[in-house]
Amino acid sequence: MSERNPKQCILLIDDDPMQLMALGRILSPQYDVKMAKSGEAGLQLAVEHNVDLILLDLVMQDMSGFVALSRLKGTPETKEIPVIFVSSSTSSEDEAKGLALGAVDFIRKPFTEIVVNLRVKIHLQLVSQMQAIRNFSLTDGLTGINNRRNFDQMVKSTWNYAKRAKECFSVLLLDIDKFKQFNDKYGYLNGDICLKTVANTMQDSIDRGSDSAYRWGGEEFAVLLPSTPIEGATIIAERIRESIADTPIHLGGEPVFVTVSIGAGSIFPADLDFDETFLAFCRKLDKALYRAKENGRNRVEQVA
């Protein structure tokens, strides 16, 4: 399997080494298989890895499969991962309870290779289809970068991570200078070319894999910078600003240049409430952005 099409990842959680080996032997040829010999270890691996599907034993010594499933569904990083119970239980009550807690299927012990492969294949196909739909809904149709809905989801995850790690993160808010005049002079179709060029330049100016760029709305964009204090955010903002100012927009004739104004801010979540605190932070970012406009444009201003 090539790097462009990596194997889907399956996590096996079972405290019976023989069952782990048997499932691993069946699934390893087609998938990237992770194994955990306890519920607690499985929960940790689910958070640490990009898992597509979990096969979970119903009866384990350190915790029941029901408890493990409840914890998976209660954790932001793992709540969307589909879980299949693997169990020797024939109880309809156990099956109903598992489905009610969020399991997607049951595989009965003793299992056969063909049944395991077919059940896993079906659910991974659903995962791929849902991921394609999710990616489409989280991408800006014009520029091809992440959209505002994507930002709203990612910033909550970033907030929760920063809270646990007791660290800060930063956000940049960008606005294209005099974009209305650009549209009036060159037309809206060329305005779209301008937006695409700015978005691509901004995306190319981000070095770290953890950083991400978004179309905020209209001619505004945002950059999310996890684990980044204001000093580092300002350096990145200046790099983005300079790159955009130096990048020509090709409209068929002489190249045209635009600039952006940027508001930069850093926030330390600690034990603060997300909804109220982040909304107040966004207002401060917006004020910093417009202070950059008032102070001459093509500049970066920090949140006061």
Q: Measured between alpha carbons, how far is 221 from 195 in angstroms, rounded to an integer?
A: 10
CA dist 45 → 35, 85, 204 (Å): 8, 17, 32
Q: Measured between alpha carbons, how far is 202 from 82 in angstroms, rounded to an integer?
A: 35
Task: Specify the residue for token string 């156990």.
Answer: 94
CA angle in degrees (0–180, nearest 5) for 154-160-163: 140
- Strand pairing class (212-217; 105-108): unpaired
Determine whether 167 is exposed, middle or buried from the number of CB atoms within 10 Å of its CB (0-12, 13-18, 19+): middle
Enzyme catalytic residues: 219
The residues with which 221 forms a beta bridge, in sequence order, are 174, 215
Side-chain half-sphere CA neighbours of 35 within 13 A: 15
Q: How far apart are the first and last CA of the chain?
A: 50
Amino acid identity, position 26:
I
